[in-house]
Chains A and B, each alone.
Chain A
């Protein structure tokens, strides 16, 4: 399977190169904003990946809670996936929160405004940061359960972020997909969008798989250590027969 990883890495880098070229040289210059609009080709896929990876974390957390007593092995796999997806999601969400203000400053004249889309995105980022902090600092056997509950309840903010531009009047531009007649993209802008979505999806999945492998390794080592400690205790115990 090692060859598959290298092919995936090569394919992802090729896709990212192509996507960058599309965003910089193929996409037309937007009429009112000019070149600064090209941030959109990284911003929109980053936001979509944030939603996708938080969704994976949400589903994996449900699987963990459902199987933690019945099938611990499956539950541990789900727990590792939930952590990996949440971490990758936080990285993409951080990218969104960096790119947004860098676009807003020249276009709106301000770095930030407390409108519904921006505020709910910041809240989402804080929720998933708190999820990672729970995983890092909470101790004891209930940590995974607690983290899964945080991930499930935290996911409630994701649809709020997505629909915020539809539900409320926001300064943030109207939705690209499924908006009203005044929203959407020029057809010539869609190929760069698709290329960037595909490239960042390939990248995100690759990084998530790497993070998952690390977490599984850590879990197995922890089990091994616990088993050895148990064996050492049993060997040190002076058993008395016929007691």
Chain B
């Protein structure tokens, strides 16, 4: 169980961090599109 939990802790940390960066990338694209629409 210990090894499974260790792997899960590291994997979930990365899923969370990369998931957040992915969310920011989508947000960035949306802002860029809105900017272009305004000009």
Q: Within the complex, which residue of B3, B13, B34 is in contact with A42, where a contact is CB–CB below 8 Å?
A: B13
CA distance A211 to B28 in the complex (A): 9
* B10 in contact with A42 (CB, 8 Å): yes
A203 at the interface (CB under 8 A from B): yes
> How far, in angstroms, from A105 to B17 measured CA to CA in the complex?
23
B9: which of A42, A217, A218 is its contact (CB, 8 Å)?
A42
- How distant is B27 from chain A, measured CB to nearest CB, in Å? 5
Query: In the complex, which residue of chain A has the Cβ closest to the Cβ of B20?
Result: A91
Q: Is A207 an interface residue (CB 8 A)?
A: yes
Are B20 and A46 in contact, CB atoms less than 8 angstroms apart?
Answer: no
User: Contact at B17–A95, with CB atoms within 8 Å?
Assistant: yes
Which chain A residues border B2 with CB–CB below 8 Å? 34-36, 106
Render A32-45 as a binary contact track against B, CB cut-off 8 A, 1 for contact: 00111011001100
Which one, A35, A106, A211, contacts B24 given CB within 8 A?
Answer: A211
B15-39: contact bitstring with A at CB < 8 Å (1 yes, 0 no)?
0110011001001100110110010
A interface, over-half SS: helix
**Complex contacts, A8 vs chain B, CB 8 Å:** none
Q: Give the shortest distance, in Å, between B34 (CB) and chain A (any CB).
A: 6
What's the nearest-Cβ distance from chain A to residue B9, in Å? Answer: 4
Chain B residues with Cβ under 8 A from A43's Cβ?
9
Q: In the assembled complex, how far is the CB of residue B3 from the closest CB belonging to chain A, in whole angstroms? A: 6
- Interchain CB contact under 8 A, A106 and B27: no
Nearest to B21 among chain A residues (CB) is A207
CB-CB < 8 A to B31: which residues of A?
214, 217-218, 221
The answer to whether B24 and A207 touch across the interface, beta carbons within 8 angstroms, is: yes
Measured CA separation A11–B16 after assembly (Å):
21
B24 near A98 (CB under 8 angstroms)? no
CB of B16, distance to nearest CB on chain A (Å) = 6
Contacts A39-B6, A42-B13, A91-B16 known; A210 to B24 CB distance under 8 Å?
yes
> Known: A102-B5, A106-B1. Contact between A46 and B35, CB under 8 A?
no
**Which of A39, A203, A210, A218 is close to B5, meaning CB atoms less than 8 Å apart?**
A39
In the assembled complex, the CB of B8 is this many whole angstroms from the nearest CB of chain A, namely 6
**What is the minimal beta-carbon distance from B18 to any residue of chain A, in angstroms?**
10
Chain B residue with Cβ nearest A207: B21
Any B CB within 8 A of the CB of A225: yes
**14 A–B contact pairs at CB < 8 A?**
A20-B10, A39-B5, A91-B16, A94-B16, A95-B12, A95-B17, A98-B13, A102-B9, A207-B20, A210-B21, A211-B24, A214-B31, A218-B31, A228-B38
